Structure 1
Amino acid sequence: MKLSVVILNYNAAAFLELCIYSVLRATKNIDSEIIVADNNSTDGSLEMLASVYGDRIKVIVHEENYGFSKGNNVAVAQTQGNYLCILNPDTLVGEKVFEECLAFAQAEPKSGFIGVQLIDGTGKYLPESKRHVPTPKVARNKIMGNDRGYYFKEIGHNERGKVDVLVGAFMFCNKRVYDDCGGFDERYFMYGEDIDLSYTALQKGYQNYYIGDQKVIHFKGESTIKDKIYRKRFFGAMGLFYDKYFKQSLLEKKAIALLIDIMIVVKSTQRTPKKRSEDEMTLVIEEENFRLKDVTNHFNLESFREHDTSNSIIIWDVKTISFEDIVDFMSKNLKIKYHFLSPKRDFYIGSDDSTTRGEIKYVQ
């Protein structure tokens, strides 16, 4: 088997449903398997998987929430593909993404992990797509709000090239690389494990790559409520990374620990979604006779490109519009509110920005 796609899910049923649909489209011409590992969800995820996808995917049920690292490691141990992609449930992949990653990996035998350009639900580039190794100095600056040296800016968003650190929402590799690196360090429950694994690959002589011309939508944070527990895990992971890879004096360790504690208490990562005044909704669909309730306009893709979208909420019909076309339009038309209609057309999802949870609206 050529490829195994592993999706770790926790209470993201609606987003997971569309994610799998996009993966099925993207693996149509690849000998592959899709494995969903569920971290003890309580939102009906397992029921959705059984009713919508049945035996087209393999489901691993965890009896408790193992977190990101262990949850993925358990699933990866059961994969059969020569290549592997770790994928978040709140992502949508284009039809050519896996083919491009496979071709790149085969052409670069010393490649470690391969990442792509992630964009949020408004089409905006996510800078965590490519990062430098967060040395103590770089990470301290990052915690204090100075991103200089943290994000990898030596190559452009749409370019290809060598980078240090990739993001766990999409990590592609030869399976032997994952095994050689020991998988995700299970001391990380959530956050930081992608930095750790990327750095481990570099330490073992592999080179990580970023393929910026391939884009993946990452709604981001859909599986996570950004409360104090989130902040503790997020900033605590940085301290674990320091302890593992960088020698520090006792004074330095105490200073970093104190700084992390302060950030856990005072830094708020939760935002109130912005209210939008638009009342015109536009459905983009390649089916003439279908109409969606409460939607003002219905266009096919060709006519839609000529339509003024400045005051519209866009709903994409993923059943008839390719993800490649959707991503291309979004990345060129930022700050518009986008939604995605499920293949069964019984709900649509979307996310206004990368710091708030997405929303789900069921069709009457």
Structure 2
Amino acid sequence: MLKKPVELSIIIISYNTKDILKDCLVSLFAAKTTKDSWEIIVVDNASSDGSPEMITNEFPDVMLLPQKKNAGFSVGNNLGMRKSKGEYILLLNSDTQVPSGSIQETLQYLKHHADIGVVTCKLIRSDGSMDPACHRGFPTPWAALTYFAGLEKLFPKSKLFGQYHQGYKDLSQPHGIDSPSGAFYMVRREVVDKVGFLDEQFFMYGEDLDWSYRIKAAGWKIMFYPAVNVIHKKWQSGKAHPEETQRRLTQKYFFDAMKLFYKKHYAHRYGWLVTGCVLLGIKLRSLL
């Protein structure tokens, strides 16, 4: 009997996340039905905690792509996408857990809307609140200013001050956004073929925003689909170092990504004064 073509490729990056990765994989295989034509690909970025051995021993149906060094989130996902065969692709963090039916429902929504290139779900943090990173606008100079100045926090429902996380939108209904989080990012292969892969200049953070920017510029819609909730144990997939070291690395990657995104997409649109102020602001924030 001929094998069914792969419909969905699920790609997970792992770096010393053995325990949460196992939880993620258990939830995926529990959610997968005999009707689903999925492949699950784990790109392991040179973990030293036994993650590759755990996958080999406990999840033989997973395609494991072990790497000799940690080259970052973008490089790892691009490797996974190049190896994948699915008509649709889901980038999934190792610190997520997917309830039964969640991936199937999200996929059906994407399949039935030909003008949508990317769809995400509502990510729920361990405390039960929504992860705001799954529902973002682009970090224009104004959006970044109001966010870092605390105005968005003071006026979360304001369209003027809440442009980054767009809290003024109805979070109970599907609607367009600028970018989801890379923790749950479902995209058509057709989009990847036309727009290209993740920009590997982004080591970690910002690559999802950059990809979304390019995807929307190519004319595709990006949708938030809140009927599906997925658990996101935020920050867990990045905890591969001692706490203080991890804090410094996270801060460095985040602000490096902010600077790169601004230079790539906004510097040519704003004058030297605005650009200088933005880059100075990023530098000062990185020192706090």
Give TM-score scaled by structure 2 length.
0.88
Counterpart code for 1:187:
Q
Greater helix fraction, Structure 1 or Structure 2: 2
Q: In the TM superposition, what is the alpha-carbon distance from 1:37 to its structure 2 partner?
A: 0.3
Task: Decide which structure has the larger Cα Rg and report it.
Answer: 1
Q: Which residue of 2 aligns with 1:216?
A: 230
Cα deviations by residue, 1:54-82 (Å, 9 ceiling, x for unpaired): 2x110001111111111100111000111
* Correspondence for 2:51 among 35, 45, 50: 45
2:95–2:233 Cα contact (<8 Å) kept = yes
Q: Which residue of 2 aligns with 1:243?
A: 263
Q: Which residue of 1 aligns with 2:176?
A: 162
Q: In the TM superposition, what is the alpha-carbon distance from 1:154 to its structure 2 partner?
A: 4.2
Counterpart code for 1:89:
S
Structure 1 stretches lacking a partner, 5+ long: 267-364
Q: In the TM superposition, what is the alpha-carbon distance from 1:174 to its structure 2 partner?
A: 1.2
Between the aligned partners of 1:145 and 1:43, the Cα distance in structure 2 is: 39
Q: Which residue of 1 aligns with 2:199?
A: 185
The alignment status of 1:15 with 2:35, answered yes or no, reads no
**Larger deviation, residues 139-148 vs 112-121:** 139-148
Q: How many residue pairs align between the two structures?
A: 265
1:88–1:168 Cα contact (<8 Å) kept = yes
Between the aligned partners of 2:62 and 2:247, the Cα distance in structure 1 is: 33
Q: In the TM superposition, what is the alpha-carbon distance from 1:252 to its structure 2 partner?
A: 2.7
What is the aligned-residue RMSD (CA, Å)?
Answer: 1.4
The alignment status of 1:174 with 2:196, answered yes or no, reads no
**Larger deviation, residues 167-176 vs 256-265:** 256-265
Using CA pairs under 8 Å that are at least 6 residues apart, name the structure with larger relative contact order, 1 or 2: 2
Greater strand fraction, Structure 1 or Structure 2: 1
Between the aligned partners of 2:260 and 2:210, the Cα distance in structure 1 is: 10
Counterpart code for 2:148:
I
* Correspondence for 1:123 among 123, 128, 139: 128
Between the aligned partners of 1:168 and 1:157, the Cα distance in structure 2 is: 19
| 2:40 partner SS | strand
Q: Which residue of 1 aligns with 2:278?
A: 256
2:93–2:237 Cα contact (<8 Å) kept = no
The alignment status of 1:207 with 2:221, answered yes or no, reads yes
Q: Which residue of 2 aligns with 1:230?
A: 250
Change (3 A) 1:158 1:57: same
Between the aligned partners of 2:195 and 2:24, the Cα distance in structure 1 is: 27
| 2:166 partner SS | coil
Q: Which residue of 1 aligns with 2:210?
A: 196
Question: Where does 1:287-306 land on structure 2 (aligned, <5 Å)?
Answer: none
1:128–1:151 Cα contact (<8 Å) kept = yes
| 1:33 partner SS | strand
Q: Which residue of 2 aligns with 1:280?
A: none
Between the aligned partners of 2:99 and 2:238, the Cα distance in structure 1 is: 24
Give TM-score scaled by structure 1 length.
0.70
Between the aligned partners of 1:146 and 1:67, the Cα distance in structure 2 is: 32
Q: Which residue of 2 aligns with 1:317?
A: none
The percentage of counterpart residues that share the same residue type is: 32
* Correspondence for 1:86 among 69, 88, 91: 91
Q: In the TM superposition, what is the alpha-carbon distance from 1:236 to its structure 2 partner?
A: 2.0
Q: Which residue of 2 aligns with 1:58?
A: 63
* Correspondence for 2:78 among 66, 73, 76: 73
Between the aligned partners of 1:60 and 1:146, the Cα distance in structure 2 is: 43
1:8–1:37 Cα contact (<8 Å) kept = yes
Between the aligned partners of 2:7 and 2:287, the Cα distance in structure 1 is: 46
2:46–2:67 Cα contact (<8 Å) kept = yes
**Larger deviation, residues 37-46 vs 178-187:** 178-187
Q: Which residue of 2 aligns with 1:304?
A: none
Q: In the TM superposition, what is the alpha-carbon distance from 1:240 to its structure 2 partner?
A: 1.1
**Larger deviation, residues 237-246 vs 247-256:** 247-256
Counterpart code for 1:234:
F
* Correspondence for 2:137 among 122, 126, 132: 132
Cα deviations by residue, 1:306-343 (Å, 9 ceiling, x for unpaired): xxxxxxxxxxxxxxxxxxxxxxxxxxxxxxxxxxxxxx
The alignment status of 1:31 with 2:37, answered yes or no, reads yes
Cα deviations by residue, 1:18-65 (Å, 9 ceiling, x for unpaired): 1011111222231110000001111111111112112x1100011111
Q: In the TM superposition, what is the alpha-carbon distance from 1:222 to its structure 2 partner?
A: 1.0
